[in-house]
Chain A
């Protein structure tokens, strides 16, 4: 089977740093995505990792370890607008994406 697990909910304080983890066991792997999604809206692309290591993009960074089936999304200098759901998704041998359970992040002042 395919399993992609994330913590269900996280809370953090404005200005802080938060790390959202994602572990996966899938039948194929051609990269891992992170998306941000606000309720009732389409997901917004944040990052894509296909090789091991850290990809930094402004306040957001994403890390991948293929041997461990593990990724994390790091959000720095948290802002209130970062309150959203964060979804990791694995791309298999085709272009279809299998999504993780999603993490709802609440940022407090």
Chain B
């Protein structure tokens, strides 16, 4: 079935550096992908909507210059955390909808998630 893949699953970076996380739809095209962040013992918080071929739409309170999103193809969206700080350490997860058929509850797929630790 359709799968969304994220890479890397875990990454450690130094404070002040940038790190890129990829989200790929493996067997369907995704004109829209979503990026979420999850802190320990908290729920998923929507960060932004990634739109293929156009600018991402950011949720209120999310810094667009810090969390750069690029959706250059119909199967790939990337999230770059720039000038990372320890407080950016979190679980980042993407999702995409397979629009091939009619909408149903299980046509929204999540990536495996990426653990970011900033030291």
Contacts and interface: CB of A to CB of B under 8 A. Distances in A.
Interface of A: 31, 33, 40-43, 45, 47-48, 85, 87, 89, 94-102, 104
Given A42-B112, A48-B104, A96-B34, A102 B42 contact: yes
Contact of A87 (B32, B43, B104, B111): B43
Contacts, number: 52
Contact of A100 (B36, B43, B49, B113): B43
21 contacts: A41-B112, A41-B113, A42-B110, A42-B112, A43-B44, A47-B105, A85-B43, A87-B43, A87-B44, A94-B32, A94-B49, A96-B34, A97-B34, A97-B46, A97-B108, A98-B46, A99-B36, A99-B44, A100-B43, A102-B42, A102-B43
A45 B106 contact: yes
Nearest to B42: A102
Interface string B56-76: 000000000000000000000
